[in-house]
Structure formats: C-alpha cells, structure tokens
C-alpha cells in the first residue's frame, strides 16, 4: 500500500505539477537542505521498504547492485545495521548525481560520464570508489538490423524517412501533439516521412492516436509497450523523444540524431542539457519546433551528420557487460573465499 504511493506520487507530480517537482529536486539537492531532510527520507524509505527488507534478511547475497536510489538506500540501511555483509554497487542511471544517490555504505559507484564522477567526488565520495563505465541498457541495441525487412513486415515503405516518436514508459509532456504535428508534414513534404509511435504503458494515448492517424495520409504504426525497441530504433532514421535517461542512452547507442521535445524538470533537464551541449541532440520547446526540426532533417539530412558522430562518441552500448566484468565479477570472485557459489541481487525501484 505505502510502496504504491511512491510511483503514484512521482507520476502525479511530473504529469500535473512538473514545476513543483523541479523545485523539490533542486531544493533537496542542496547540501544544507538535504542534511535536514535525509533522516526523514531514510525513515520513510524504511517504512515503504519493509517487505523488501524482510525478504532481504532471509536471503544471503555476496554482491548487491542498485540501479535506483531507493534500493540503494535500503541496501545501505541493511549494511549499517550489520546484517547485510554483501558488497554494494550503486549504478547511477542519471546524468546527474543527485544527493539521493549518495549511499555512504556503497563499495563502488558506477557512473555514466566524467562530469558525474566529478560531482560524486565533490560530494565526498572517494575517487577510488567511482568508476566511469556508462548506463546499462538492454541487449540488442547497437547490433545490425535489417531495416528493409523490419519496415516491410510493418507494411511501411523502406524508401521513406522513418521517424520514431517515443514517450518513454509514461506519456509526460506534449507527446500526442508532437506526433500530430509531425504527421501534418505530409502536406508539406508528401511521400517523404513515415512514423513509428511508441506510447509505452499509456494504452489510452495509443488508442487516441490510432483513431486520429487512421485516415491520415502519412503512414504510421502505433504501439503501446514494446519489447523490440532495438529493432524499431534500428529501422529508424531519426528519434523524437522526451529526455529519459534510458531512452537517451539507447538512442546514442544506435548513433541516431535525437530531437528532445520534453524534459521533466530535475533529472531529465540534466540529461537534455548534457546531450545538447555535446552536440548529439536538439532540444526543442514546442510541438511546432519538433515538426520543424524533422522537416529540416528531410530537407538536408547531411546537416545532422555531426549529431550522429556525437552520438557514437558519447554512446556506451557495452556498459552492462563492462559493469559485470569490471565491477561485479571481481567482487563476486573475492566472495568465493567465503562461498563457493557467490549470489548476486540486482534491484531497481520495483519493490
């Protein structure tokens, strides 16, 4: 019951009170404020994490990995109390190291960029405990895809420019309006563009867009939640998305130009600023600007070549394997002294 309030509260804030969330994010990242709030936060985390802590106490792990700051804190609670002796690895899956990620009990912090590593050191984390490896993404990205075969299977035209528009797991921001603005480009550049639209867990948005685009002239395929994103990205020429950390890293791994139509105040603003500053993305601020950027790509795709190069330079498609080989496996090997079969627990925010 209490654990369910955690994601619901977050979704409520970012959907309807985004400026409030952004203000809280920055306010809680201030050293003096967080020093006051930290005991309250940790008490709250222990309260909503009691089922997880009870389960953890019954198990015996040699290495635990947290890819979200909530389980990182709960692992830290267990280590502080002394009944969890496992080595703790915290994988920071944002492009900013908010103080929420700072689990003093962690043995190693894995981060995506040298800038995030510098932030960690400035916040008191010893340099030897920080490794710059990347944000882990699912297998399949960066692998060759038969674009023609995928598009033909979807009854789309391999000769058209394929634009992938994705909302992430939840449709925050002007997602549907962006899709419709791009679809209207069919009148300006007929026969040039087609759409792949991924609505995540928002089935209502998928149904609405299916109805609205059904009779349109621009070919479009509308999806809800998908498990073949590497295939869809591999068949695309351009990605239009909000600035979620995983979506950004997946797009970079494919070497695709990225147009960001929305960034949730807080962590996603840092994501957008980083990729825009690095030359791998355009950050637009309205559906009309998003459509105009797509139109520029249609008119002169060569001008987006530097974005492709920047994306490849920033991408770390092998981050997951590198984390295992460089961090997890050495720690597990050390545990063989105590157990011939080391056990690993990996947790994100799902409790």
CB 237 within 8 A of CB 256: yes
pLDDT tens by residue, the chain, 351 residues = 455 666 777 777 777 778 888 888 899 999 899 999 999 999 989 988 899 999 999 988 999 999 999 999 999 999 999 999 999 999 999 899 899 998 999 999 999 999 999 999 998 899 999 999 999 998 888 888 999 999 999 999 999 999 999 987 777 889 999 999 999 999 999 999 999 999 988 899 999 999 999 888 999 999 999 999 999 999 999 999 999 888 999 999 999 999 999 998 888 999 999 999 999 999 999 999 999 999 999 999 999 999 999 999 999 989 999 999 999 999 888 765 455 445 666 667 544
Q: Directed axis angle between helix 305-314 and helix 245-253, to 10°?
A: 110
Report how far residue 285's alpha carbon sits from residue 45's, in angstroms, rounded to the nearest whole number: 35
Do 78 and 101 sit in the same domain of this protein?
Answer: yes
Report how far residue 34's alpha carbon sits from residue 341's, in angstroms, rounded to the nearest whole number: 40
Identify the domain containing residue 252 by its residue range: 147-314
- Say what the pLDDT of residue 112 is: 93
Tell me: the pLDDT tens digits for 144-189?
Answer: 899 999 999 999 999 999 999 998 777 788 999 999 999 999 999 9
Do 247 and 228 sit in the same domain of this protein?
Answer: yes
Do 336 and 284 sit in the same domain of this protein?
Answer: no
Specify if 177 maps to a domain: yes
SS3 call for 17:
coil
- Say what the pLDDT of residue 343 is: 61
Do 253 and 215 sit in the same domain of this protein?
Answer: yes
Do 109 and 218 sit in the same domain of this protein?
Answer: no
Whichever domain contains 285, its CATH number is: 3.40.50.2000
Report how far residue 61's alpha carbon sits from residue 49's, in angstroms, rounded to the nearest whole number: 18
The whole-angstrom distance between residue 141's C-alpha and the CA centroid of its chain comes to: 14
Report how far residue 144's alpha carbon sits from residue 253's, in angstroms, rounded to the nearest whole number: 12
Structure-block tokens of residue 33: 């404020």
Do 193 and 262 sit in the same domain of this protein?
Answer: yes
E-strand stretches of the chain: 63-66, 87-91, 108-111, 130-132, 161-166, 193-198, 220-223, 238-242, 258-262, 281-283, 344-347
Specify if 142 maps to a domain: no
- Say what the pLDDT of residue 346 is: 65
Specify if 168 maps to a domain: yes
Report how far residue 316's alpha carbon sits from residue 249's, in angstroms, rounded to the nearest whole number: 8
Tell me: the pLDDT tens digits for 229-242?
Answer: 999 999 999 999 99
In the 3-class helix/strand/coil scheme, how is 273-287 assigned residue by residue?
HHHHHCCCEEECCCH
Report how far residue 311's alpha carbon sits from residue 306's, in angstroms, rounded to the nearest whole number: 8
Do 104 and 222 sit in the same domain of this protein?
Answer: no
Structure-block tokens of residue 25: 């994010």
Structure-block tokens of residue 309: 């190069």
SS3 call for 164:
strand
Do 95 and 226 sit in the same domain of this protein?
Answer: no
Is the backbone of residue 202 left (phi > 0), alpha (psi -120 to 50) or beta? beta
Do 282 and 159 sit in the same domain of this protein?
Answer: yes
- Number of domains observed in the structure of the chain: 2
- Please provide the DSSP assignment of 68-125 as one string: SHHHHHHHHHHHHHTS--SEEEEE--SSS--GGG--TT-SEEEESSHHHHHHHHHTT-
Do 275 and 163 sit in the same domain of this protein?
Answer: yes
Specify if 46 maps to a domain: yes
Specify if 246 maps to a domain: yes
Please say whether the dihedral angle defined by the alpha carbons of residues 269, 287, 142 and 230, taken in this order, is positive or negative: positive
Report how far residue 182's alpha carbon sits from residue 210's, in angstroms, rounded to the nearest whole number: 15
Radius of gyration of the chain, Cα coordinates, nearest whole angstrom: 22
């Amino acid at each position: 019951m209490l654990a369910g309030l955690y994601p619901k509260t977050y979704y409520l804030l970012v959907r309807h009170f985004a400026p409030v969330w952004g203000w809280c994010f920055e306010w809680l990242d201030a050293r003096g404020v967080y020093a006051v709030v930290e005991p309250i936060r940790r008490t709250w985390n222990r309260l909503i994490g009691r089922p997880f802590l009870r389960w953890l106490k019954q198990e015996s792990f040699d290495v635990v990995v947290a890819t979200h700051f909530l389980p990182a804190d709960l692992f830290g609670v267990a280590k502080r109390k002394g009944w969890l002796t496992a080595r703790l690895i915290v994988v920071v899956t944002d492009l900013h190291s908010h103080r929420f990620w700072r689990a003093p009990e962690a043995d190693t912090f894995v981060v995506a960029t040298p800038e995030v590593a510098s932030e960690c050191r400035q916040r008191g984390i010893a340099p030897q405990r920080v490794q710059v490896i990347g944000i882990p993404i699912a297998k399949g990205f960066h692998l060759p895809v038969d674009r023609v075969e995928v598009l033909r299977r979807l009854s789309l035209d391999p000769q058209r420019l394929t634009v992938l528009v994705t909302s992430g797991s939840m449709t925050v921001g002007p997602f549907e309006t962006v899709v419709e603005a791009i679809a209207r480009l069919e009148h300006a550049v007929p026969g040039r563009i087609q759409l792949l639209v991924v609505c995540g867990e928002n089935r209502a948005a998928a149904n609405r867009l299916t109805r609205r685009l059904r009779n349109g002239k621009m070919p479009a395929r509308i999806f809800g939640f998908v498990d073949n994103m590497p295939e869809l990205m591999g068949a695309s020429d351009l990605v239009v998305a909000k600035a979620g950390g995983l979506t950004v890293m997946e797009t970079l791994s494919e070497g695709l130009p990225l147009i960001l139509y929305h960034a949730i105040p807080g962590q996603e603003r840092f994501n957008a600023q980083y990729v825009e500053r690095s030359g791998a993305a355009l950050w637009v601020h309205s559906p009309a600007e998003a459509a105009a950027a797509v139109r520029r790509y249609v008119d002169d795709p060569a001008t987006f070549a530097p974005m492709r190069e920047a994306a490849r330079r920033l991408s770390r498609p092998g981050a997951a394997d590198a984390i295992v080989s460089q961090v997890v496996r050495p720690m597990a090997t050390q545990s063989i002294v105590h157990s011939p079969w080391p056990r690993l627990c990996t947790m994100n925010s799902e409790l």
